[in-house]
Amino acid sequence: MSTHITHIALIAAAISLSGCSSYPEEGRGGIGEQYIQSSFTPVMPDEPLGPEHGLRFDWQLAKLQLDTLIREGARWCFPAAVVQALEKQNRIARELEAGLLLDAANDIVIQRKRLNELELQLDYVTSQAKCAPPANEYSFQQHLAIIDTLYNLLNVDNQFAFNSTEINPKYMGHLAEASNLLKQHTSLHLTVTGHADSVGDMSYNQELAMGRAQQVKRYLTIFGLSPQRIETKSVGESLPLYEGDTDGVRLTNRRVSIEVIDTQEGEEVRLQGGYHEMD
């Protein structure tokens, strides 16, 4: 399944990417947007390919790969991963629409990595079992809605002050709300990744970013969540949310990114769906 997509992606990757980055307007490039199903303006045969067209082509390739994974059963076997991939796919579309080309290019790299990992997981599962629709569609949709809500609560912007692990009070409120939801849904765990902006020494930023991840874990446990349900790690300044050196961009890059992991994904039989041994 992935061979054809990989070949096209290599062609797209050869297109030179350039552009300027700026802090997005409210609602442009944010996390909690709806998945965009429509296509961008097509490239005409006599129209030269520019960086925007290359990125839009890359976006379409990622969308094609994600849609294929969903059709092959990823929605049933790995619903949490699919929900978050849809969020990321839409974020890239908003960045492209706002002209944030470097930001979109960065997110496309992240999205490709996640989709390739999801494809390997799905290939392994479907070689031994079959992904099946949920027995109770309503319960399944409620489960996905909870994951989507948690993802949006935990990945808002403006989380930390400069050179600090202290959490913004508004974000602390989001952590409290997310913790209350997570206590009601015990199969959901978190992976908290710390980030830093580009100011300062790389090794210091690695340590600072880990401190931010651990501080988020600390507050989630204070709000009643078991520490065994939270994994922390750091990528320092290496994966900025936005490229650039403006105050707004740096503020956004001082953050944690949090993935919601459904520990029921991978079990053989689930009421909400899942996969079942082949006959």
Full DSSP string of 167-206 = BPHHHHHHHHHHHHHHHH-TTEEEEEEE---SSS-HHHHH
CA pair distance 258, 37, nearest whole angstrom? 25
Q: What is the pLDDT along the chain (279 residues), one digit of tens a residue?
A: 444 444 444 334 433 333 333 334 444 333 334 445 445 555 555 655 566 778 888 899 999 999 999 988 888 888 888 988 998 899 899 888 888 888 888 889 889 988 998 999 888 888 877 777 877 888 888 888 898 899 889 988 788 888 889 999 999 999 999 999 999 999 999 999 998 887 878 899 899 999 999 999 999 999 999 999 999 999 888 767 666 667 777 777 788 888 898 887 655 434 334 443 333
Which among 88, 80, 30 is positioned nearest to 260, based on CA atoms? 80
Distance set, CA 156 to CA 2, 8, 117, 131, 153 (Å): 32, 33, 25, 32, 6
Res 39: pLDDT: 54
Secondary structure of residue 43 in the 3-state scheme: coil
What lies within 8 Å, CB to CB, of 36 at 6+ separation is 89, 90, 93, 94
Res 21: pLDDT: 39
Residue 26 CB neighbours (<10 A): 6
Which among 278, 279, 270, 277 is positioned nearest to 78, based on CA atoms? 270
Res 250: pLDDT: 72
Secondary structure of residue 241 in the 3-state scheme: coil
Res 20: pLDDT: 39
CA pair distance 253, 6, nearest whole angstrom? 30
Res 63: pLDDT: 93
pTM check: above 0.85 = no
